[in-house]
Amino acid sequence: MRMEWPSTIADSDAVIVREETPDGLRFVVHSRREPQFTCRTYAEAEARTLAYAEHARAHVWYANGHSGFQLVGGSTRPASSPTRRRVGAAPTPGQPSK
């Protein structure tokens, strides 16, 4: 089952959707960039999707029915912004940094 992609979610993000089937509960992970896949537990779906999000610098959302989407986690910086570290000694606690 393909879902209609919400306009509020980035193309690189992934969405976990809970589905009840005659065989029981399952969690389907949807993404525009990767094929969808199914997991038997939410924990498995979350772990696999967060691993994807870290690699793809994306966010993971959970579709919680009628109330919309809940952010689960994911990348906190865009791919175009490298990590910047300050080189030098850390300031002494209580002293202003230079």
In a domain, 55, yes or no: yes
In a domain, 85, yes or no: no
In a domain, 48, yes or no: yes
Task: Determine contact, residues 29/39, Cβ cutoff 8 Å.
Answer: yes
The confidence score (pLDDT) of residue 94 equals: 58
In a domain, 84, yes or no: no
**If 0-12 CB within 10 Å is exposed, 13-18 middle and 19+ buried, where does residue 97 land?**
exposed
In a domain, 88, yes or no: no
The confidence score (pLDDT) of residue 39 equals: 96
In a domain, 91, yes or no: no
The confidence score (pLDDT) of residue 76 equals: 64
Per-residue model confidence as pLDDT tens for the chain (98 residues): 567 777 888 889 999 999 999 999 999 999 888 888 999 999 999 999 999 999 889 999 999 777 788 899 987 655 444 444 444 444 455 555 55
Apex 28 CA angle, 26 and 33, nearest 5: 165
At residue 19, φ and ψ (nearest 5 deg) are -130, 135
In a domain, 42, yes or no: yes
In a domain, 52, yes or no: yes
Q: What does the alpha-carbon distance between residue 27 and residue 39 come to, in Å, rounded to a whole number? A: 5
**pTM, to two decimals:** 0.70
Q: How many helices (H) and strands (E) does the chain have?
A: 1, 5
Task: Determine contact, residues 61/69, Cβ cutoff 8 Å.
Answer: yes
What's the total number of domains in the chain?
Answer: 1
What residues make up the domain containing 63?
Answer: 14-74
The confidence score (pLDDT) of residue 35 equals: 80
